[in-house]
Amino acid sequence: MPQSRVLELGLEYDHLLYVCSRCNAAKGVQQIPDPTKELFAGAVTVQTDGRIVGHTDEARRMVLSLRMNAPDAVHFRRLWIEIVMLAVRYAPELYGQLMGDPDDLPNLARLRPPAGNTRPEGIGQSHFACRERNELATTY
């Protein structure tokens, strides 16, 4: 739900979702499907030409609502696909830097939210904790 429609959700952890400014601007006051469910559940495919194809009605609606296939977005995505493919072939170390987690992952165990941690189980599932246990893949 857009914060502009339901103000009290603005600080609810379970409601917050990090998105790029382009997608946030495109979303505006629309209510869209949960991207974490649609985009990561195999409901979309990124084509080598940079287009995103939705495989469910909800995913197609999100692709349209967020203008994910606008010419500038497709162009930018295609450039990055080509850069990553070149790195795979010719610069494996660069590929690791492009597709790996950053060195400065936050240690969530040190953070103290004002209202307390409503999801303490998330600390052990964080990328920082997984890396500490050598469970984090080198690339994602």
pLDDT at 27 over 80: no
**pLDDT recorded at residue 134:** 93
Q: Are residues 85 and 117 in the same domain?
A: no
CA distance 139 to 81: 15
Q: Are residues 71 and 113 in the same domain?
A: no
**Tally of structural domains, the chain:** 2
* Residue at 128 is within a domain: yes
Higher pLDDT, 37 or 104: 104
**pLDDT recorded at residue 14:** 61
- How many CA atoms lie less than 13 Å away from 53 in the CB half-sphere? 6
Q: Are residues 73 and 118 in the same domain?
A: no
- Per-residue burial over 93-121, b if 16 or more Cβ lie within 10 Å, else e, is eebeeeeeeeeeeeebeeeeeeeeeeeee
Higher pLDDT, 21 or 42: 42
pLDDT at 35 over 80: no
Report the amino acid identity of residue 74: V
CA distance 112 to 123: 12
Name residues whose C-beta falls within 8 Å of residue 39's C-beta, 6 or more positions apart in sequence. 59, 62
* Residue at 2 is within a domain: no
**Residue at token pair 């977005």:** 73
Q: 54 φ, ψ to 5°?
A: -90, 140
pLDDT > 90 fraction of the chain, expressed in percent and rounded: 34
**pLDDT recorded at residue 12:** 66
Residues forming a β-bridge with 90? none
Q: Are residues 52 and 106 in the same domain?
A: no
Q: Are residues 82 and 124 in the same domain?
A: no
**pLDDT recorded at residue 87:** 97
Q: Are residues 105 and 67 in the same domain?
A: no
* Residue at 1 is within a domain: no
**pLDDT recorded at residue 73:** 93
Residue 104 domain boundaries: 100-140
Band (pLDDT 50/70/90 cuts) for residue 1 is low
Q: Are residues 89 and 27 in the same domain?
A: yes
Q: Are 29 and 4 in contact (CB under 8 A)?
A: yes
Q: What is the mean pLDDT of residues 99-114?
A: 84
Q: Are residues 94 and 109 in the same domain?
A: no
pLDDT at 81 over 90: yes
